[in-house]
Structure 1
Amino acid sequence: MRADNRAKGGAILFETGVEFAVWSQHVAEIQLCLFDETGNKELARLPMARENGHVHRLFVDGLKEGACYGIRADGIYAPENGLWFDPSKLLVDPYAKQLDRPFRHDPRLGIFGEDTQNLMPKAMVTRDTKVTLEKPLFKPGGFIYEVAVKPFTILHPDVPETQRGTVAALAHPSVIAHLKRIGVDAVELMPITAWIDERHLPPLGLANGWGYNPVAFMALDPRLVPGGMAELRDTVAKLRAEGIGVILDLVFNHTGESDRYGTTLSLRGLDNLSFYRHLPGRPGELVNDTGTGNTVACDHPYVRQLIIDSLRHFVLGAGVDGFRFDLAPVLGRTANGFEAHGGTLSAILDDDVLAERIMIAEPWDIGPGGYQLGNFPAPFLEWNDRVRDDIRCYWRGDDWKTGPLATALAGSSDIFSRNGATATRSVNFLAAHDGFTLKDLVAYSHKHNEANGEENRDGHNENHSWNNGIEGETPYPDIIEKRRGDLKALISTLFASRGSIMLTAGDEGGRTQRGNNNAYCQDNEITWVDWKALDEELIAHTAFVAALRKRFSVFSESGFFNGNGDIEWVSSSGKPMTVGKWETANFSTLGMLLTTRDRDSRRQVRLAVLFNRSNNAMDFVLPPPETAAWRLLSASGNSGKLGAAVTVPPRSAIFCVGN
């Protein structure tokens, strides 16, 4: 049986024992280290046999599920030549599927000759359990809710204290009720695989709370998922039963081993020269296309297989809908730059298990040619920062933003219609984990990252934000109300846009990070969602526009408009926009008239979305609908018939249906 199921990597459990396999081209010798059930006492060191293809293999008779192990790799230590072999370092198997404890940063993890056995998590032998595979619930055009697992539920009053801050908490009835209320189609979980703090954080008393510093690509972090794959699988199933999909945010572009002054935890100690990108002709210098100190060589055959196997692991083992890829151009990087149809991206799309999954790219990194918005192969969806910035700038009052607003609302065909494409692949968002929260966007003109310990040098300087008169928190009711109005307008605009949309957890209720736009290191009240402080009026508004998005088919469709009666842009006079109006720098109103199916009435109707970014109420004349009259849509239900004109309040967006 072993001959037919030989491990490509990791540990495979059989009735009579466990087979281990590790890949390394440049190593001299690999030893398997076995530990007792506590993971603290070493029981044996066993040499692994080298086979063709640089696979090192060993079968251990009698070993059972739950056995703890690590790896030691011996060879040349010559960092200037890209070789970091140090047998004093206990390493985590790149194919580890469960760890007995989280990673904790310690300077000794990066010092040659320092034994790290007592500092390192131990991998555990697991038994794979497969789910019955079903098609993804999430469809392009749906509503994605970005969730940082711990911050989302750590303060939730209804979740038991033993579950708060874990993946299991996402399946609590109160949490699910909130997700359903605001119309979430899929939760996108920020990294839940095992990570380590950046080395500068512990001396500052800070900790990485986002998880974008991975070590093991398959192993779930015990802090967030103490129940391992069974916990993730159960949570996915419970969310799925309520019509909510799960998308995992995964990081394959770099690891927490960082630059040459970083730690030796796994890939570096096994074969640094193979697993990371290095400057041409300078193997001792790591490429830093990620801004984190290293860049994973995703085009290496072994790394490619590791990525594919990791994705398959979460689909087959937990039934997730799909994945979002952090700094995704790295997945397509070769020695020649980004290749949209390169080996790794193609392998993801061609895999029989992954072919139907939802794939979302963050389409930029900081390397040469790193901005690749619109260039990923279909059916990849892509985060669209152009939409983010254009909608922000429109509502801030910037000149020349009426045209960009319309382009964003219509699905960004200027970006996604390349090569004859007929549908948008845009993921539209206003704020994400990286940057200001939505509330801070309208309350801070400048970043305030002093708590991060870098003298406010970190984070983006240009946020296209505004403060409505006072920087930060204020007791003045008029400013609070202005900010609430701006948030409603922003949320309405997002939910009226063509393409998939994304909102970050807590933004629907006015969560603040006190002006911190780089809060990755704030695992505390700065990033934790304070459920008791959320703005009920904002939540109700989000639920209202989310319901409209589900009611009217035009918003969840992804095909580009053809202009033959399906969409019309009008000025406040009700007449089509002219070139002169489009080119008016400070034009403050816009009407979007849509033909759509009303899923409630099961009829074709006309829908008007009217935008007024000025500080004064504006009257809009609506062209006569084909039947009956126009009605204003509001959270309290349809209003009575509108007259010849409808008044749009200052700095707002409203919806009217012609039926």
Structure 2
Amino acid sequence: MIDEKSELVFDLQRSWSDRLGAECDCDGTNFALFSENATRVELVLFDAAGVNEIWRGDLPQIEGGIWHGYLPMIRPGQCYGYRVHGPWAPEEGHRFNPAKLVLDPYARELRGDFVWDDALFGHDVAQDDLVRDDRDNAHFMPKAVVVDPVFDWEAESSLRHPWDEVVMYEAHVRGLTMQHPAVDAEDRGTFVGLSSDAIIAHLTDLGVTTVELLPVHGFVQDRHLIEKGLSNYWGYNTIAFFAPHQGYLKSGEVIEVKTAIKKMHRAGIEVILDVVYNHTAEGSEMGPTLSFRGIDNASYYMLAEDRRHCYDTTGTGNALNLAHPMVLRMVLDSLRYWVEVMHVDGFRFDLASTLGRGPQGFDQRGAFFAAIQQDPILSKVKLIAEPWDIGEGGYQLGGFPWPFREWNDKFRDDTRRFWKGDEGMLPRLSQRLLGSPVQFDHTHRPATSAVNFVTAHDGFTLWDVLSYDGPHNLANGEDGSDGHSTNHSDNFGHEGPTEDPHINQMRLARAKAMMATLILSQGVPMLLAGDEFGHTQEGNNNAYCQDNPTTWLDWGGKNEALHAAVRHLLAFRRTHKIATSQFLRGDSGTQVVTWLHPCGEDMREEDWQDRGLKVCGLLCARESDRILTVVNAGGETGFLLPAGSWTCVIDTSAENVCCQIPAEGTWIIPPQSVVVFRESDAGAQ
């Protein structure tokens, strides 16, 4: 680490522009920053704590808008930032302000916290966004850190679980571990806790193959939330696409993330990151100047026609300008960094429709998707789109190109409505059980294109879907006006928790049936962490700002019956290879599908039009066996089984959902249940 007395001079012969960010070798560090419209870029170095400035100098060279310079003696651990000079011309889209220290977009590690102060804004907040604010913000900014690239992966290779074997588990680094009694107190809420023996044992025992983590990139706590005593718990407010969020690191060092991923991989668990490349934490033109805005606002952001204002399709104030080749490169570099250096297994893209927007709106052949498809690294990892944004034409379910999979919100809504008892839902549920072919069976896409879920971080938990008719979000400080208004939930006659054993039993029965629907459907099942044992957020369906026991999983309050049911259902799915990469059809292929009426006959058109019918059977004749899945959202009913030697192998109404009961003739299907029968030449297993 250098000090204020160090004599530093850029070595022009060793400087390079082909790699951005701070790249350290054995002798020093090369610094490179893209700014097409800047006139001067100052590199500023700070002490080990990232508090006191100890040196600054202009990056000496520029090529193609990339400012760069090599400094000898700069080692890992060095804190730094930039001051970027250029025109202050907001009406032309330029908001350069060298009074503002800005964060390197390629920062690999952060040190220090954002401390909200008006000095963080490039404009005078007491006037408007046209008036420049010349106060120094360095005291309130975190600093980027030069990192050591060396880590012993011990020849580890990517897991690459086949999609038809994947069971996803959406989790939050803090929420998953903060209240787990077997995780050391000092490790909770960090990547160390995430990869603890207790958490890994729970995931492997449950049958999870792939953990999808809510955003772990460096993000900013919103000022208005801090002032309310709340926080941006979910983390969809990214400012650093290469650096992990400091709050998730016990030591503050990026090596913790690598170690956690290495441990997960040893246990056979993939790690997927929820990433937010559609916008940044700087918000609209009225937001702070933290990085991109001060580096080159006109390049990094999509601007409105008047150039002064941001173009917003995300509801957050801005949208990254992926039409610019260097901004697109930054996103691709970030993705490749997390794959090649950090060894993650894939990504879920937040509001992914924004990533595909061009001059004419959403374009599945746009630059971002084309770049991914041809990339030899990124095209091989798991890629999942949240197929919507809030802009015009933003809902694009089924519209993303291979190799992307997509969050299937139609599965969520139709499954909830069917089990709630809404009329006319049987035809829609039949589509969900088959992997939503209307949406995804085209352009040679596989049946694993749909990532199915009944709950996700955004909305009610599973138990709350069965306990609340409406959201209870007062704790969010928005007078209960936030969150989804259409939840397709059902409280069974009592809002919230109850001691009534009958209501609790009905809630458990439906929870097991909904989980069975998810797990036994074609496509890729995704569970929300805690749903497997009945976690509740006490009716809050928008807990984005609740970093407290509302969102932290209550491991001590585990519903053991539900947990056991989910574990057994996942084992059944795995053992009997329920999922397939090919869509199930009734006229071709190795798996023939027939829909059965409770009377034992094929479903007819008039049966599908019977809005009051709430039970039917899906018979799948495979090469090795036949599996009949009966869903019943109504009352107790008889179901005439096809001829053959059948065994009842799943009954969600039973205490133990897995069973081995010979079955024939008319079988009584309990209310609010999923019952599965199996026939094979070798007998039921």
Specify if TM > 0.5: yes
**Residue 6 of structure 1, CA deviation:** 4.2
- Superimposed CA distance per residue, residues 394-436 of structure 1 (whole angstroms, 9 cap, x where no aligned partner): 1111121101101000011101123354534100000101111
SS of residue in 2 equivalent to 1:537: helix
In structure 2, relative to structure 1, the CA distance for the partners of 1:17 and 1:3 (3 Å cut) is closer
Which of 274, 283, 286 does residue 310 from structure 2 map onto? 286
What is the aligned residue count? Answer: 648
- Superimposed CA distance per residue, residues 179-209 of structure 1 (whole angstroms, 9 cap, x where no aligned partner): 1121101000111111012221111111011
Counterparts of 1:398 and 1:421 in 2: how far apart (Å)?
31
Confirm or deny that 1:114 pairs with 2:135: yes
Structure 1 equivalent of residue 672 of structure 2 = 651
Confirm or deny that 1:301 pairs with 2:325: yes
Amino acid at match of 1:16: D
Does the 8 Å CA contact 1:229/1:318 hold for their aligned counterparts? no
Does the 8 Å CA contact 2:16/2:70 hold for their aligned counterparts? no
Structure 1 equivalent of residue 145 of structure 2 = 124
Which of 30, 43, 52 does residue 19 from structure 1 map onto? 30
1:269-280 matched pairs, under 5 angstroms: 269-280=294-305
In structure 2, relative to structure 1, the CA distance for the partners of 1:107 and 1:594 (3 Å cut) is farther
Counterparts of 2:297 and 2:618 in 1: how far apart (Å)?
54
The alignment's TM-score, normalised by the length of structure 2, stands at 0.92
SS of residue in 1 equivalent to 2:200: helix
Structure 1 equivalent of residue 7 of structure 2 = none
Q: Which runs of 5+ in 1 are unaligned?
A: 598-603
| Matched-pair identity in % | 39
Which of 52, 74, 77 does residue 63 from structure 2 map onto? 52
Counterparts of 1:134 and 1:337 in 2: how far apart (Å)?
39
- Superimposed CA distance per residue, residues 517-571 of structure 1 (whole angstroms, 9 cap, x where no aligned partner): 1111111111111100121111101001101110112x22121112145221111
- Superimposed CA distance per residue, residues 35-92 of structure 1 (whole angstroms, 9 cap, x where no aligned partner): 1111111011111134231111111121111111001112222333322211111111
Amino acid at match of 1:261: M
Does the 8 Å CA contact 1:151/1:529 hold for their aligned counterparts? yes
Q: Relative to structure 2, which stretch is displaced further, 334-343 or 212-221?
A: 334-343
Structure 2 equivalent of residue 180 of structure 1 = 204
Amino acid at match of 1:368: E
Counterparts of 2:255 and 2:171 in 1: how far apart (Å)?
20
Amino acid at match of 1:561: L
Amino acid at match of 1:236: I
Which of 214, 231, 252 does residue 277 from structure 2 map onto? 252
Which of 562, 571, 587 does residue 613 from structure 2 map onto? 587
Structure 1 equivalent of residue 630 of structure 2 = 610
**CA RMSD, 1 decimal:** 1.8
In structure 2, relative to structure 1, the CA distance for the partners of 1:80 and 1:448 (3 Å cut) is farther
Structure 2 equivalent of residue 261 of structure 1 = 286
Does the 8 Å CA contact 1:7/1:19 hold for their aligned counterparts? no
Amino acid at match of 1:595: A
Amino acid at match of 2:641: L
Does the 8 Å CA contact 1:97/1:123 hold for their aligned counterparts? yes
1:413-452 matched pairs, under 5 angstroms: 413-421=437-445, 423-452=447-476
Amino acid at match of 1:266: S
Structure 1 equivalent of residue 495 of structure 2 = 471
Does the 8 Å CA contact 1:138/1:358 hold for their aligned counterparts? no
SS of residue in 2 equivalent to 1:633: strand
**Residue 234 of structure 1, CA deviation:** 1.6
SS of residue in 2 equivalent to 1:318: coil
- Superimposed CA distance per residue, residues 100-153 of structure 1 (whole angstroms, 9 cap, x where no aligned partner): 134344343125222111111111111224654634433223210001110110
SS of residue in 1 equivalent to 2:180: coil
Does the 8 Å CA contact 1:192/1:225 hold for their aligned counterparts? no
Amino acid at match of 1:126: V
Counterparts of 1:149 and 1:14 in 2: how far apart (Å)?
32
**Residue 636 of structure 1, CA deviation:** 6.7
Structure 2 equivalent of residue 361 of structure 1 = 385
Counterparts of 2:109 and 2:67 in 1: how far apart (Å)?
21
1:59-138 matched pairs, under 5 angstroms: 59-110=70-121, 111=124, 112-129=133-150, 131=153, 132=155, 134-138=157-161
**Residue 591 of structure 1, CA deviation:** 0.8
Does the 8 Å CA contact 1:33/1:42 hold for their aligned counterparts? yes
Counterparts of 1:611 and 1:636 in 2: how far apart (Å)?
14
Confirm or deny that 1:454 pairs with 2:468: no
Counterparts of 2:273 and 2:649 in 1: how far apart (Å)?
38
Which of 619, 642, 663 does residue 642 from structure 1 map onto? 663
**Residue 633 of structure 1, CA deviation:** 3.2
In structure 2, relative to structure 1, the CA distance for the partners of 1:631 and 1:327 (3 Å cut) is same
In structure 2, relative to structure 1, the CA distance for the partners of 1:536 and 1:90 (3 Å cut) is same
SS of residue in 2 equivalent to 1:261: coil
SS of residue in 2 equivalent to 1:115: coil
Q: Which runs of 5+ in 2 are unaligned?
A: 1-10, 125-132
1:252-651 matched pairs, under 5 angstroms: 252-280=277-305, 282-421=306-445, 423-553=447-577, 555-564=578-587, 566-596=592-622, 604-614=624-634, 616-625=635-644, 628-633=645-650, 635=656, 637-651=658-672
Counterparts of 1:287 and 1:133 in 2: how far apart (Å)?
43
The alignment's TM-score, normalised by the length of structure 1, stands at 0.95
